[in-house]
Structure 1
Amino acid sequence: MSTSDRGRAFESSANASTDGARVRIFDTTLRDGEQSPGCSMSPQQKLVMARALDELGVDVIETGFPASSQSDREAAAMIARELREPTLCVLSRCLPADIEASARALEGSAKPRLHLFLSTSPLHREHKLRMSKQQVLDAIATNVAHARRLVDDVEFSPEDGIRTEHDFLAEACAVAIANGASTINVPDTLGYTTPQEIRALFEFLISTVPGARDVVFSAHCHNDLGMAVANSLAAIEGGARQVECTINGIGERAGNCALEELVMALKVRNAWFEADTGIDTQRLLPTSQLLTRLIGMPVQRNKAIVGANAFAHESGIHQHGMLRHRGTYEIMRPEDVGWPDSQMVLGRHSGRAAVAHRLRALGYTLEDEQLDQVFADFKTLCEQQRVIDDGDLEALMHGDTRGEGFRLASMTVSDRGQRASAQVELSDPDGKRVSESALGDGPVDALFAALSAATGVKLTLESYQVHSVGIGADARGEANLSVRCDDGSGDSRGYEGTGTSRDIIEASALAWLDIANRVLRARRNADADVVAA
């Protein structure tokens, strides 16, 4: 979908409850998301992410907090010079120097917005600001008016608005509107509210604040109680027509409302919410994966929409239902969010029907008796590894076993000096010993390089995770790898491997060999098929 076709036009009365209401998506991945621990990005990385958000169809991109750092000022200016379609927004405290620095960072932007915030809750007024109610209102009036003189589009957020007295919150919003704010954002700064509360609050504000019908009300929900998406949806029901969210739900503490979850909830349950967005949903997964690569923070496998298991089925009962009709266990199409298809993951919970279906897809048509034997072998293999892929099925059909392959005899890893070193000794499929050594940027990198030299298998690492299995004296380390490997035809294929040991480095070696042996089995089987042909 081209940027010119996104239709970022809205009703003149933005909060009017009409069928098919349009909800603006305000993305704060580059500001609220990026300032969370472990998620910081360089200006160039922010520019790359901003381009992806533009392609996704985001209406407003909050590019940073210019007064906080030179890096934020540089990133905001770079993005302002390049992106022309979305509104570009920067955050500012209600301080004249901050406002002016923010306005300078927006110079050259086609659609600039200044986003001002000031705390309004009793707790923040007393302990953070040490200001009276009247002082807060005066500061809002003065600074919103100042910002409005510099930029036509001004958004105001009463920080900790959810915990602010409703009457005072309404008064603060009215002052902001009267002084030029065209968007009023009500943040649940601490992730404290509930869906019923926030819906009622938005209904109250929109019905009582003077000028409310002439501005856009926005929701900004944090996820401290795990309700950020639910609260954002409830705010929409209450009249909000902008939602502030982040890719993968990153953000302060437990994160923000996850953009991909909110967007798909509105799309799948459109008949209920009677609201939609301008997001190109097929770009949700690529955008999520880009962010993961930029900040190095993986998405949990069971994460809604973009997690690896979001459209994966292992249970035999579920797989049987999916083979009959995908609607039995899926409420949306994986293709609609960027996944190529649903995944029938073969593992210890899978049934005979799923195994037979996958074998047919691989070109094998078996009689019942043959299938029974293959399925029995499949179940045996499941006790040794969590996931059975196509290569494993091919191995079963050729009578190959998991016991054949390279085995780890010994290893030595050292991380002294500028580079780490590793030496491994393997037992090859014929029982001979193979020894190799290698250097690397770290112990694991050196280990994998030595294993590659010993086996002749080159793997491209996509993800590497380690964690503890069990507790106390019985705890073991488990390593999980996701890699890509050339299948011999010039195309690459994905593999996942697992290794378990009391030593996490040894577990990593076992996970690497788990994959390498499957790669080698697949190559042997392919060579055998060529000879037979």
Structure 2
Amino acid sequence: MKEKIIILDTTLRDGEQALQASLNANEKMQIALALERMGVDIIEAGFPISSPGDFKSIQSISKVLKKSKICSLARCLFKDIDIAAQAMKYAQNFRIHLFLGTSNLHVSSKLKKNFNEIIDMATSSIIQAKRYTNDVEFSCEDAGRTSIDNLCSIIEAVIEAGATTVNIPDTVGYTTPTQFKNIIFSIFNRVKNIHKIIISVHCHNDLGMAVGNSISAVEAGARQIEGTMNGLGERAGNTALEEVIMALNVHRDVLNKYTNINLKEIYKTSKIVSQFCNMPISANKAIVGKNAFSHSSGIHQDGVLKNRENYEIIDPISIGLNHCKLNLTSRSGRAAVKHHMQKMGYRKNDYNLNELYVDFLKLADKKGQIFDYDLEALAFFKKQQNLREYFKLEYFDVQSKLSGLSVASIILMCGTEINIQKATTSNGPVDAIYQALNKATLYSIVLKKFHLVANGEGKDALGKVDIVVQYKSRNFHGIGLATDIIEASAQAMVNVLNYIWKSTQVDKELEKLCK
């Protein structure tokens, strides 16, 4: 009998910590739903004590998840635990995930305690968490650098206190696969009540060994793997779930393990996370990179043409990657667009057909023929824009010279009011239109990042602009998509301005509640 490996995704918690701009509630919801469709067992949705926004997002997600279990992180402090439980009170069932440093370095220099005090904190916190749920996970932070005697002592104590899962994190990506496997072996051999719980692993990638360490831990008896899509996370990131899942699948007969993951959702989920998190995927990234199934060498090309298995250990179709070119034009109807979206693996709930079709026709009039990457880009863009639009750009005009000033004129709808502005700058057309938009909104913002990529090929490729701006010490991410680079840049800034406006409304609501 094959044994199941539980997959815990922490993209929305550990992954988001490393982003340049926080995800908004809609983006978190879209990622959570994509993870649930992929078959993730447990979704760690955030750290609710950290901010009101995180609390509200977790609360919203807990109301909609039906198959995946929701989980929240908490320090070994009663206030953290109580807030975590409140955030998930609408969930059918949930997990509280406690963590506490156990290495000598963390105990002495960070926590300023002795190890007996650490054990007391851990056990009392587990008892508190058990008041809210029977599913309590405890993480021995920096387990990779914790002495095996101390590690076994605290694991035995937290099991006795009622923990149901014990996580062994390689928090700083310190160990090698052999070292990490020996740690897991030692735990199973030395902890007398180990049979009562599931051992989990959470590996970081500082030495590039996160996936290798996770697989070696499974070989030693671990039955839960924690990670993120695309390997997002602190510093060099976490275990890339798409990699570890496919490694388990390719070697399922040797490892004798399986997961509940729907493999055909992997590529799409990876793309959703990349788009919403504003974290491009490296071309040579395993499993989901652009070059993961490309072949340049003549010998390799010849071998693949004769039999793909000569140089491919994974069928790209198995992860939902369709290399289909679509013959769509402005004469195509809704049925054709819907058919091709289904062919690429999208369900009807993944996008709004009417909105997508309107954008499709506009783009088809400009480009003539539409391809799969065009449709995907439009669908993702609409998801990114799926919020109440307070600001809407009705018109813009930019005049620029090779040497000299650029002049931008805009008409911006601000709620129900029309705002007309003009700006002149020597820094080019994009800066001119940004200054005009800033004049209209009066937001004091700083542009931190501007990134332009071509989505597709040729002169009619869609230009995708990603920007990050700072407003009142917070970072906001915006995206714009158009065949015209200036238009894409303007859309990205309007997108950001709407996020800022919405966040200010949320802050006002929270202020009222506090009063």
Instruction: Give your verdict on TM over 0.5.
Output: yes
Q: Could you tell me whether the CA contact under 8 Å between 2:139 and 2:166 is conserved in 1?
A: yes
Distance in 1 between the 2:118 and 2:404 partners?
61
Residue 483 (structure 1) shift: 3.2
Residue 334 (structure 1) shift: 0.4
Q: Which residue of the other structure, out of 173, 196, 208, is the alignment partner of 1:214?
A: 196
Partner of 2:102: 120
Partner of 1:325: 307
Q: Could you tell me whether the CA contact under 8 Å between 1:481 and 1:512 is conserved in 2?
A: no
AA of the residue aligned to 2:262: D
Residue 238 (structure 1) shift: 0.8
Residue 210 (structure 1) shift: 2.7
Distance in 1 between the 2:134 and 2:242 partners?
30
Distance in 2 between the 1:135 and 1:336 partners?
50
Q: Could you tell me whether the CA contact under 8 Å between 1:312 and 1:342 is conserved in 2?
A: no
Distance in 1 between the 2:406 and 2:120 partners?
60
Q: Could you tell me whether the CA contact under 8 Å between 2:159 and 2:196 is conserved in 1?
A: no
Partner of 1:54: 36
Distance in 1 between the 2:406 and 2:77 partners?
50
Residue 417 (structure 1) shift: 7.1
Residue 416 (structure 1) shift: 6.8
Q: Which residue of the other structure, out of 19, 23, 46, is the alignment partner of 1:64?
A: 46
Indicate how the Cα distance of structure 1 residues 480 and 106 shifts in structure 2: closer, same or farther if over 3 A, else same: closer
- Aligned structure 1 segments of 4 or more residues deviating by more than 2 angstroms: 410-419, 442-448, 479-486, 493-497
Q: Could you tell me whether the CA contact under 8 Å between 1:64 and 1:90 is conserved in 2?
A: yes
Residue 48 (structure 1) shift: 1.0
Residue 21 (structure 1) shift: 1.4
| 2:71 pairs with 1:92 | no
Task: Identify which range, 128-137 or 410-419, moves more after superposition.
Answer: 410-419
AA of the residue aligned to 1:193: T
Deviations 1:494-528 (A, max 9, x none): 7899xxxxxxxxxxxxx999xxxxxxxxxxxxxxx
Q: Could you tell me whether the CA contact under 8 Å between 2:200 and 2:226 is conserved in 1?
A: yes
Q: Which residue of the other structure, out of 264, 272, 275, is the alignment partner of 1:293?
A: 275
Partner of 1:253: 235
Partner of 2:218: 236
| 2:276 pairs with 1:303 | no
Residue 480 (structure 1) shift: 5.8
Partner of 1:483: 456
Deviations 1:284-316 (A, max 9, x none): 111011111111110000101111111111222
Q: Which residue of the other structure, out of 338, 359, 380, is the alignment partner of 2:320?
A: 338
Indicate how the Cα distance of structure 1 residues 311 and 411 shifts in structure 2: closer, same or farther if over 3 A, else same: farther
Distance in 2 between the 1:177 and 1:413 partners?
71
Match of 1:323, SS state, is helix
Match of 2:17, SS state, is coil
| 2:182 pairs with 1:182 | no
Q: Could you tell me whether the CA contact under 8 Å between 2:406 and 2:432 is conserved in 1?
A: no
Partner of 2:418: none
The CA RMSD measured in Å over matched residues stands at: 3.2
Q: Could you tell me whether the CA contact under 8 Å between 1:56 and 1:279 is conserved in 2?
A: yes
Q: Could you tell me whether the CA contact under 8 Å between 2:407 and 2:432 is conserved in 1?
A: no
Residue 205 (structure 1) shift: 0.8
Match of 1:61, SS state, is strand
Deviations 1:152-195 (A, max 9, x none): 11000011011111011111111111111000000000000110
Residue 45 (structure 1) shift: 1.1
Partner of 2:374: none
Partner of 1:225: 207
Query: Structure 1: any 5+ residue segments left out of the alignment?
Result: 1-18, 344-388, 390-409, 420-438, 449-463, 467-478, 487-492, 498-510, 514-533
Indicate how the Cα distance of structure 1 residues 342 and 224 shifts in structure 2: closer, same or farther if over 3 A, else same: farther
Residue 207 (structure 1) shift: 2.4
Partner of 1:283: 265
Q: Which residue of the other structure, out of 293, 296, 302, is the alignment partner of 1:314?
A: 296
Indicate how the Cα distance of structure 1 residues 166 and 482 shifts in structure 2: closer, same or farther if over 3 A, else same: same
Residue 115 (structure 1) shift: 0.3
Larger Rg: 1
Residue 341 (structure 1) shift: 4.1
Query: Structure 2: any 5+ residue segments left out of the alignment?
Result: 326-370, 372-400, 411-423, 434-448, 465-482, 486-515
Q: Percent identity?
A: 39
Indicate how the Cα distance of structure 1 residues 186 and 34 shifts in structure 2: closer, same or farther if over 3 A, else same: same
Residues 158-169 of structure 1 mapped to structure 2, 5 A cutoff: 158-169=140-151
Distance in 2 between the 1:55 and 1:146 partners?
32
Q: Could you tell me whether the CA contact under 8 Å between 1:334 and 1:342 is conserved in 2?
A: no
Q: Could you tell me whether the CA contact under 8 Å between 2:177 and 2:213 is conserved in 1?
A: yes
Q: Could you tell me whether the CA contact under 8 Å between 1:465 and 1:480 is conserved in 2?
A: no
Indicate how the Cα distance of structure 1 residues 58 and 98 shifts in structure 2: closer, same or farther if over 3 A, else same: same
Q: Could you tell me whether the CA contact under 8 Å between 1:84 and 1:111 is conserved in 2?
A: no
Residue 44 (structure 1) shift: 1.9
Residue 481 (structure 1) shift: 2.3
Distance in 1 between the 2:257 and 2:182 partners?
18
Indicate how the Cα distance of structure 1 residues 303 and 316 shifts in structure 2: closer, same or farther if over 3 A, else same: same
Match of 1:118, SS state, is strand
AA of the residue aligned to 2:294: A
Q: Which residue of the other structure, out of 120, 129, 135, is the alignment partner of 2:117?
A: 135
Q: Which residue of the other structure, out of 110, 117, 134, is the alignment partner of 1:152?
A: 134
In the alignment of these two chains, the number of paired residues is: 367
Q: Could you tell me whether the CA contact under 8 Å between 1:92 and 1:117 is conserved in 2?
A: yes
Deviations 1:339-380 (A, max 9, x none): 11499xxxxxxxxxxxxxxxxxxxxxxxxxxxxxxxxxxxxx
| 2:182 pairs with 1:200 | yes
Residue 415 (structure 1) shift: 6.1
